[in-house]
Structure 1
Amino acid sequence: MKLSPTLKVVAGLAATLVVTSACASDRGSDPGAVVAAPAAANEAAAPSESKFGTLESPCGQGDAKGATDQGISDTEIRIGYGDDRGYVKSPGLNREMGDAVAAMIDWCNAQGGINGRQIVGTHYDAAMTQANAVTQDACANEFMLVGHGFAMDQTSEQTRVACNLAAVPGFTAAPDAANGPMKYQGVPFPVDFANGSQWFQLAEMYPDLVGDFDVINSTMPTIIATTTKIRSVAESAGFTLKDCGVTLNYDGEPSYVPFAEKYKECGVKGLWTSRSASPGELNFVKALDQVGINPIFMGEATWYADGVSEWNKDSGLLDNLHAGMTFQMLEHADSVPAVKKYVELVEEQGGKTALLGMQATSSFLLWATAAKECGSDLSRQCMIDELSQIHEWDGGGLHAVTDPGNNMPAACGLVVTLKGAEYTQAFPAGTANFKCDDRYLVATDRSTWGTELGPDRIATKFLNPNIIRPTS
């Protein structure tokens, strides 16, 4: 079975930086450590449903009782999840997230649910522009939002906070959402810290080019915030970025050739994009070839995608593509039990598999792990208390170790490259391993945050006296 890394376009989502591993808590003692994934053979004896990779399943029978909060009864836990699949300009946008959570709900319920309560999931299609409308609906009906990803979450964050709708999203995009209250993620992407592994690793791969890169600017506000942040991260990794003065219209350009010419005149040998592989971005790649330059093209994990490899299969124009990730490659399923399990569960339901799907899966498992600990006392307060105490998390081996309780990203990463239609791991050497280094965790400049944070690193914009805070 060939595993296709299908990853739909998600506009401006720097939040999708992702990788896997066993980067353990002692990684600081060996800052240059390369960490291998758990071997599949070690899991062979485990019952298929008792574990998700290295993680003991949080699902199972039990005797939890009580209508302890909105959406909770003796027999049910109601959660909302979703994506932007109905966006007319990009049908199926991040659909893999909803597909993943739907598969995980069925997997969990087949084992008895959470302490005996069945999970009832409501799928919300935000269709890019309806994030606030679906959040209003969830406010009235759901216990929590879990594993979702809405690209325009800046339009719904005030609503979510006002109704105390706790959430464990698959990704966040807007600054106020990334550091929002009552919110924990399997793979955090806060505004004040970043996983800069891809820049440090690129510097190791191409040390002679650290003065020859530039970042592609965009007119989209989310991407503007992201590229500003990326510039500071790149500088922390030793890059002296050019400023060629090129900004691409998010809605497209009549011709990308003048912009490519400007990069040629500027002498760039490497380009970073925070935009996903949209048709416009691919046309820009064609324009670079038309003017006779072939810079290293580097982007977010969203460039590790089925559509990208199909596009490159005949042209080869992206054979210079590099993508930084903190998740395992889907091609590594045979050596990474968690990836194999994810693929099996989603494909059994005819869903799409992709990095964002693994990201949603990790957040679902994080949510379920905390919910199990709450038992009959399941409430939003208990969930906030439990989630705030989880400080080492890799989704059973789906990605590098993060600290959800403190909203801190991983300090590990890998780089993939593309040749024709085939992705391979380019750095570090080997298969299904990551390089970890404390330097990869970069404190970003306050000017790049896009929001104000309190002393607890929570965005202050929508705070009110009634938000739920950890009690310990």
Structure 2
Amino acid sequence: MNLHKFKLQSIFLSVPLVLLIACSDPVIPLVELPPEPTPLESQSPPTIGDDADRLVQEKEPGLTDASIRIAVIADSPNEYLNDAEGLSVWQSVEAWAESINRSTKLAGREVIVERIDSATFRHVEAIDAVCQGDYFALVGSFAVNDSDGLNLLQSPDCLLPDFPAATFSLRRLYSGRTYQSNPISGVTSNAGWASYFAQREPSASENVSILLPELPSIVLAGERLLESATAQGLEFSHSPVYEIESDFQSESEALLQSGSDSLVWVTSGRELLRFLDTLQNTEPEKSFGFISCGQRCYNPDWVASAGEVGQGVSVWLPHLPIEEAELNDELLRYLFFMNLTHGPESRPTAAGIAAWSAALLFEESVSRSVGANSASYKPENLSQEGVHAAAQSITFWDARGLHGISNPADVIPSSCFVIMTLDDGLWEREFPSRPGELSCEDENLVELKATANLEEIEEELESPE
């Protein structure tokens, strides 16, 4: 089987970059703005209703002649379920808005970003606040209970276009109003990482553990991951659901009794460290063939706190790593504007990069809806309905080269990924081995069958309040 590589464009800057380099910290340029992206090809606005040239008669929420107001719903840090992903996605959408407002603006308007905290178990209230508030769209959201309140988002009174950084429920992803830049965890999922570990560690891959916190959305997402990873060669022998506030003592003992040789982790990276600490205290000699942390551990704060316990933990990313930002214009732009907007407080993470990608998809949809860079450009016609229509036409998309080719309109992810492994406090590329490349085999994608209807189950389960 041939390995097809997706090689991202290298950039050559005319002057040296001054870089912040610290152990495990991302490389963030300080002085040189990356090249401006190539302007969009001329796009005629999609036809809406019977008259494609009609003016917007009613006031659109969150929209004036001078500004577009958008909301970002995210969970603030929770001791047991997430780290700083919410902060990172808020910062990332704000950084994107800064890049827009410093250039041509969006449909001639300044972008205003509002943070909305769903606090893990308050997503219904967050959705209600956005639907009742003065917002044009949801952009870059990242909330674990994102199906809670979906009926409000889908109601005729709330026409918000929804461009999340990530979706945790199939109901949200397939809401009919949701468009994800690279929907890696849908009915069609990217599970190439599992195939890689199955081939690299065939023995350890026959006895894999996955621990799931007792939160319905994560348990159901975990079931889908189990199906996709199993299809790629992993065999799960131990998959308990644990209490959210567990001290991990009984879970550690149960894992040791199961004889598991490898571990897949799907929730907070900080919780992974706490579990590994407990496991090491219980059995100091225990080791794993591999530990995969998805994208959750790709966070500078996690690396700083990992110490020796994090040695050998791997993440898989659907985009180039921050450590190779100099090889990708758009990744470099992301880091530049994160630093420009938030300075030393910036938190670039995998979730943040996904939020930036979501904002780019929103930007593309807005631009198409008003015919940007074409003779039919009419920014005064910007509407939520027009953005929906434009988003539904985007079937070939790579977020300006930030990730592989995806099809947001039909919810098909890119097949591309890279695996990074923590070694002595630094993320090191493991696979593919050549810098600047992603593995993009068609076989990396898996079509779910047994768990494809879990959105129906999700509708019956309620998150604890």
The interval holding the TM-score normalised by the smaller chain is 0.7 to 0.9
Q: What is the alpha-carbon distance in structure 1 between the residues aligned to residue 14 and residue 193 of structure 2?
A: 30
How many Å apart are 1:118 and its aligned residue? 2.2
Give 1:125's match in structure 2, choosing from 100, 117, 137.
117
How many Å apart are 1:346 and its aligned residue? 0.8
Question: In the alignment, is residue 223 of structure 1 matched against residue 218 of structure 2?
Answer: yes
Q: What is the alpha-carbon distance in structure 2 between the residues aligned to residue 312 and residue 371 of structure 1?
A: 41
User: Identical aligned pairs, as a percentage?
Assistant: 17
Q: What is the alpha-carbon distance in structure 1 between the residues aligned to residue 239 and residue 347 of structure 2?
A: 38
SS of equivalent to 1:410: coil
Q: What is the alpha-carbon distance in structure 2 between the residues aligned to residue 245 and residue 334 of structure 1?
A: 40
Q: What is the alpha-carbon distance in structure 1 between the residues aligned to residue 119 and residue 358 of structure 2?
A: 21
Alignment of 1:158-307 (within 5 A): 158-162=151-155, 163-189=158-184, 191-242=186-237, 244=238, 246-253=240-247, 255-256=248-249, 258-279=250-271, 281-290=272-281, 291=283, 292-295=285-288, 296-307=290-301
Alignment of 1:272-421 (within 5 A): 272-279=264-271, 281-290=272-281, 291=283, 292-295=285-288, 296-313=290-307, 316-350=308-342, 351-375=346-370, 376=378, 377-421=381-425
How many Å apart are 1:91 and its aligned residue? 7.9
Q: What is the alpha-carbon distance in structure 2 between the residues aligned to residue 283 and residue 87 of structure 1?
A: 14
Asked if the contact 2:107/2:382 (under 8 Å) is kept, the reply is no
How many Å apart are 1:430 and its aligned residue? 1.4
Q: What is the alpha-carbon distance in structure 1 between the residues aligned to residue 79 and residue 208 of structure 2?
A: 34
SS of equivalent to 1:271: strand
How many Å apart are 1:75 and its aligned residue? 2.5
Deviations 1:306-333, CA, capped at 9 Å, x for gaps: 23322333xx222231212112211111
Question: In the alignment, is residue 73 of structure 1 matched against residue 77 of structure 2?
Answer: no
Q: Indicate the larger mover: 167-176 or 184-193.
A: 184-193
Give 2:12's match in structure 1, choosing from 38, 41, 57.
41
Q: Indicate the larger mover: 288-297 or 191-200.
A: 288-297
Asked if the contact 1:190/1:408 (under 8 Å) is kept, the reply is no
Q: Indicate the larger mover: 433-442 or 118-127.
A: 118-127
Q: What is the alpha-carbon distance in structure 2 between the residues aligned to residue 311 and residue 105 of structure 1?
A: 31
Aligned length: 413
Give 2:36's match in structure 1, choosing from 41, 47, 51.
51
Deviations 1:372-420, CA, capped at 9 Å, x for gaps: 1222322222212211111222222222221111111111111110112
| Number of the residue aligned with 2:126 | 134
Q: Classify 1:138/1:235 alpha carbon distance in 2 versus 1 (closer, same or farther; 3 Å).
A: same
Asked if the contact 1:152/1:173 (under 8 Å) is kept, the reply is yes
Q: What is the alpha-carbon distance in structure 1 between the residues aligned to residue 253 and residue 131 of structure 2?
A: 50
Asked if the contact 1:411/1:441 (under 8 Å) is kept, the reply is yes
| Number of the residue aligned with 2:148 | 155
Deviations 1:404-444, CA, capped at 9 Å, x for gaps: 11111111111110112111110111112111111111011
TM-score after normalising by structure 1: 0.80
TM-score after normalising by structure 2: 0.81
- One-letter code aligned to 2:333: K
| Number of the residue aligned with 1:17 | none
Q: Classify 1:439/1:347 alpha carbon distance in 2 versus 1 (closer, same or farther; 3 Å).
A: same
Q: What is the alpha-carbon distance in structure 2 between the residues aligned to residue 435 and residue 88 of structure 1?
A: 34
Question: In the alignment, is residue 110 of structure 1 matched against residue 102 of structure 2?
Answer: yes
Give 2:86's match in structure 1, choosing from 78, 89, 94.
94
How many Å apart are 1:121 and its aligned residue? 2.6
Q: Classify 1:274/1:248 alpha carbon distance in 2 versus 1 (closer, same or farther; 3 Å).
A: same
Q: What is the alpha-carbon distance in structure 2 between the residues aligned to residue 275 and residue 446 of structure 1?
A: 22
SS of equivalent to 1:155: coil
Q: Classify 1:167/1:120 alpha carbon distance in 2 versus 1 (closer, same or farther; 3 Å).
A: same
Q: What is the alpha-carbon distance in structure 2 between the residues aligned to residue 98 and residue 402 of structure 1?
A: 24
SS of equivalent to 2:430: strand
Q: What is the alpha-carbon distance in structure 2 between the residues aligned to residue 87 and residue 246 of structure 1?
A: 21
Q: What is the alpha-carbon distance in structure 2 between the residues aligned to residue 137 and residue 85 of structure 1?
A: 16
Asked if the contact 2:314/2:422 (under 8 Å) is kept, the reply is yes
SS of equivalent to 1:425: strand
How many Å apart are 1:126 and its aligned residue? 2.2
| Number of the residue aligned with 2:48 | none
SS of equivalent to 1:317: helix
Q: Indicate the larger mover: 88-97 or 168-177.
A: 88-97
How many Å apart are 1:189 and its aligned residue? 4.2
SS of equivalent to 2:269: coil
Q: What is the alpha-carbon distance in structure 1 between the residues aligned to residue 294 and residue 447 of structure 2?
A: 19
Unaligned stretches of 5+ residues in structure 1: 1-29, 59-63, 454-458, 462-472
Asked if the contact 2:208/2:263 (under 8 Å) is kept, the reply is yes
- One-letter code aligned to 1:327: H
Q: What is the alpha-carbon distance in structure 2 between the residues aligned to residue 300 and residue 127 of structure 1?
A: 22
**Aligned alpha-carbon RMSD (Å):** 2.9
Q: Classify 1:190/1:426 alpha carbon distance in 2 versus 1 (closer, same or farther; 3 Å).
A: closer
Q: Classify 1:353/1:391 alpha carbon distance in 2 versus 1 (closer, same or farther; 3 Å).
A: same
Q: Classify 1:159/1:88 alpha carbon distance in 2 versus 1 (closer, same or farther; 3 Å).
A: farther
Q: Classify 1:274/1:87 alpha carbon distance in 2 versus 1 (closer, same or farther; 3 Å).
A: closer
Unaligned stretches of 5+ residues in structure 2: 16-31, 42-53, 371-377, 461-465
Q: What is the alpha-carbon distance in structure 2 between the residues aligned to residue 245 and residue 115 of structure 1?
A: 49
- One-letter code aligned to 1:146: V
Q: What is the alpha-carbon distance in structure 1 between the residues aligned to residue 414 and residue 192 of structure 2?
A: 9
- One-letter code aligned to 2:169: A
- One-letter code aligned to 1:373: R
Q: Classify 1:215/1:129 alpha carbon distance in 2 versus 1 (closer, same or farther; 3 Å).
A: closer
Asked if the contact 2:325/2:332 (under 8 Å) is kept, the reply is yes
